[in-house]
Amino acid sequence: MNTSTMITNFEQYLNDNLPVSQTFHPSFENALSDMLKAGGKRFRPMLLLSIVQACQPLLIKNALPVALGIEFLHTYSLIHDDLPTMDNADLRRGHPTLHKSFDEVTAILVGDALNTQSFNLIANAPLSNDIKIELIKVLSSDGGIDGMIIGQAIDCYFENKKLELKQLEFLHIHKTAKLIAGSLKMGAIISALDTEQQNKLYDLGIDIGLLFQIQDDIIDETATEEEAGKTTSNDGAKNSFVNLLGLKGAIKSADKLAKKCEENLNDFDIKIKDNLNDLLSHYLNRHKS
């Protein structure tokens, strides 16, 4: 199964399992699914499914609820990131942000709901309880106070305050890269790979995630909102790689990380390497397009 087929299957699974809230609230159920239906790269769930497809293809169906849980948690993070109190963005995934389509209270509560539901999906996945506990440990750590949340807190607190490069990397490793790394590790856990392989995939994910952030900073500087599908030119007060290194310096850093990721893929089993190459070929050099 190639990446395009996996994405198609995942989209169908997502559409069949959109979150619902069966109450008399006039709009909350629509708001729950709004940003999920808006699309997105589905990159994090595809990382997980690429590993499972390479190592334990018979477990793909069992892994789909976990992949969907990752997408729910990632989507919650985007909704909250766009809020007026954070980035105050108007556009996400080519659509108006949730607080614009509905209101700020609804956006906050939808984010809360998707966050919680992500763990419910994993808890009810058709996998052993031991595996599910390990998956929840990874997602709650990399998506929580040891990962995305502390990264976001640093990002917001240090607006208009220049960070050093190591501090900037710490910020974005936690805010962005850890959830990407965790997605790869969760695929490895489902596939019963040993700890060494799990850690190697996690380390690769950190590099991929940092590359993605540098690329996003470049895109924010160079792309229109229509091209990016989200609000751009929005990083003026932020600690971005473009603001710290300049556009040429950020592109140089992205080139270096992309090459490192391509080289490190050679350390993996041929099936893992091929599956990840199929997925990553669309992304590793997107800062050059």
- What angle in degrees, to the nearest 10, is found between the helix axes of 43-55 and 3-16? 120
Burial class (CB in 10 A: 0-12, 13-18, 19+), 90: middle
Which residues, 6 or more positions from 128, have their beta carbon under 8 angstroms from its beta carbon? none
**Rounded to an integer, what distance in angstroms lies between the CA atom of residue 131 and that of residue 123?**
10
Length of the chain, please? 289
Helix (H, G, I), strand (E, B) or coil at 117: helix
List, for residues 182-202, the tens digit of each pLDDT value. 999 999 999 999 999 999 999
Which residues, 6 or more positions from 284, have their beta carbon under 8 angstroms from its beta carbon? 208, 211, 258, 261, 262
Contact 121, 72 (CB under 8 A): yes
Contact 248, 221 (CB under 8 A): no
Domain boundaries, the chain: 3-288
Tell me what percent of the residues of the chain surpass a pLDDT of 70. 95
The topology under which CATH files domain 3-288 is Farnesyl Diphosphate Synthase (1.10.600)
Across the range 78-100, mean pLDDT stands at 94
Mean pLDDT of the chain: 94
List, for residues 50-72, the tens digit of each pLDDT value. 999 999 999 999 999 999 999 99
